[in-house]
Chain A
Amino acid sequence: MSNDSQWPVWEVFVQANPGISHKHVGNVHAPDAEMAIQNARDVYTRRSEGISIWVVPANAIAASSPEDQGAFFEPSNDKPYRHPTFYKIPEGVKYL
């Protein structure tokens, strides 16, 4: 049958410990979300690597493009005053 696909791709995000963000770890093929979560558990958390899994259909992810990287992130490059180290505070002033 021509529709013998290897199933759609789901991107997998795993939270390693309570209190931290889910992190992208890879992807799995699965027919639906439920099986994607089960497959992700078997593929990416066989050694207690996680306590929570998110799966997202790969085609639902939009990404910035590498060619535009320079121009796209440029606005933040010329604003050093957004960083605390930009400001010179005299020695002896505390808690700043």
Chain B
Amino acid sequence: MEDAKQLEAFEAKIAAGQKIEPKDWMPEAYRKQLIRMMSQHAHSEIVGMLPEGNWITRAPSLRRKAILLAKVQDEAGHGLYLYSATETLGIDRSELLSQLHTGKAKYSSIFNYPTLTWADIGAIGWLVDGAAIMNQTALARGSYGPYCRAMIRICKEESFHNRQGYEIMMHLAQGTPEQKALAQDALNRWWWPSIMMLGPSDDQSPNSDQLMRWKVKMESNDAIRQRFIDRTIPQADFIGLTIPDKDMKLDAATGHYEHGPINWEEFFEVIKGNGPCNAKRLKARVDADKNGAWVREAAMAYAAKQTKDKLVA
């Protein structure tokens, strides 16, 4: 059978560490899974602009404001790289956006939490972008060429996001007792959602051998979570903030931190749409799309008119 032969060649290519490119033959399940993952990733980037955009007008200094603007602009760019990479799989952006707006497609659970104080902007850059980098550096080693290239670009830019967030937390932690309390409060609220955003634990989310073999998924959720925790705890210690997990302890034998039980019920509730801000986030996206429709139409009409004028002249 032709398919079996093609599948064999496809798997051999991946096993040899080669990338799959858009016009190459690929199994339908591979294409579907990538569209699901990559579009979810793209949606997360643009929905992720909302909680941070909330603080642009209230950033505490011009320096912080310029930085936050640049960061939010980067997130828009990341969304665009990812939509563009997803389109190479034969689906167009209007379809992807309509899946987001109708609730058919998901985005990261983390963006359904509110940004209550300025310190939350620090916590997001430090923790949320930090966790995202762990996930994305793994994905950059995957098998689909356009996705890997987008990941590499994104990881380079995320490093700035991560550091500016830590810097915000550091300054607050070294400030007045009130400022330090603000930083601690943000850490308390963002810690658990940040480690949950890396996905359900391995026993609840068995990675199929197939996805691993096809290098769609590179590492298990728990492995990525462990690395994130191991790297982040010393960073918290350094600025004198406390991770809100009483059970957290270093296992001297393995060198890894062991965390307390994660409230997966909360995670699944947020995924289902019952987080604190799900409805608000989706409404903001749908409104932006609807209110921008006339701009897209006008720009197309203008472009058509220019072409016509050129033909007449």
Contact = CB atoms under 8 A, between A and B. Distances in A.
Given A43-B77, A46-B73, A66 B24 contact: yes
A9 B88 CA distance: 11
Contacts, number: 57
B222 interface: no
Interface string B56-98: 0000000000000010011001001100100100001110010
Contacts of A63: 23
Contacts of B21: 66
Chain B, interface size category, equals 20 to 34
B77 A29 contact: no
A77 interface: no
Contacts of B150: 26
Contacts of B84: 9, 26-28
Contacts of A31: 296, 299-300, 302-303
Contacts of B23: 63, 65-66
A7 to B, nearest CB: 7
B306 A32 contact: yes
A51 interface: no
A5 B289 CA distance: 12
Tell me whether chain B's interface is mostly helix, strand or loop, or mixed: helix
A42 interface: yes
A6 B96 CA distance: 11
Given A7-B299, A9-B87, A46 B97 contact: no
B251 interface: no
A31 B302 CA distance: 8
Contacts of A7: 296, 299-300
A6 B77 contact: no
B293 interface: yes
Interface string B21-41: 101110000000000000000
B97 A6 contact: yes
A59 interface: no
Interface in A1-21: 1, 3-7, 9
28 contacts: A1-B293, A3-B297, A4-B94, A5-B94, A5-B300, A6-B94, A7-B299, A7-B300, A9-B84, A26-B81, A26-B150, A27-B84, A29-B93, A31-B299, A31-B300, A32-B299, A32-B302, A32-B303, A35-B299, A42-B73, A42-B77, A46-B73, A46-B74, A47-B157, A65-B23, A66-B23, A66-B24, A66-B25
Lowest 9 CB-CB distances: which A-B pairs, in order? A32-B303, A31-B299, A31-B303, A6-B93, A31-B300, A6-B94, A66-B23, A66-B24, A43-B77
Interface of A: 1, 3-7, 9, 26-29, 31-32, 35, 42-43, 46-47, 63, 65-67
